[in-house]
Amino acid sequence: MSQTLYDQDLYDWSMQTARLLREGRYAEIDTLHLAEEVESMGKSERRALEHRLVVLLVHLLKWEYQPEQRSKSWQRTLTEQRKQVAKLLDDSPSLKPRLTDLLVDAYDSAVRWAADETGKDESDFPRDCPYGVAQVLDPAFFSGSDTTDARRRV
């Protein structure tokens, strides 16, 4: 069985496919692999969004459960992750209706990560995500404290 360009060199295949699309030479396009790659791009955006949510949740949990460790670094991480989530949602607005489900999925990973980083037991954290989508994305929200108090302490 001979290998296709797609199997041999993904970069070259993608450049050739883009050129064929621009030139309108649709009959020459490897449509099976093109469809797979387009679908993969969408899944990649969803995974990137879920990862950003995991990082956000980890830092919200750490902020709430380790108040003595709060730092500007954690604040910057929360701010940056929120900006990146906003960018992802601007680029792929169809992911917005999936945010609640993604947050639920992300929370399980976040608890494991937060437990590892804090030295706490996973059972020390709520079983279900204690934060809503609006809170997680709100630049002024810091779990376990009011915003003014949170900013004064770091």
Distance CA(115)–CA(100), nearest Å, equals 22
Q: Please tell me the total count of domains within the chain.
A: 1
CB 58 within 8 A of CB 38: no
Mean pLDDT by 10 residues, the chain (154 residues): 85 96 97 95 95 98 95 95 97 96 97 97 97 96 62 40
11 in a domain, yes or no?
Answer: no
19 in a domain, yes or no?
Answer: no
C-beta pairs of 96-103 under 8 Å, 24+ apart in sequence: 98/46, 99/133, 100/133, 102/46, 102/49, 102/50, 102/53, 103/53, 103/57, 103/129, 103/131, 103/133, 103/136
30 in a domain, yes or no?
Answer: no
33 in a domain, yes or no?
Answer: no
99 in a domain, yes or no?
Answer: yes
100 in a domain, yes or no?
Answer: yes
Q: Is the pTM of this model over 0.85?
A: no
3 in a domain, yes or no?
Answer: no
Which domain covers residue 114, as residue numbers?
42-153
129 in a domain, yes or no?
Answer: yes
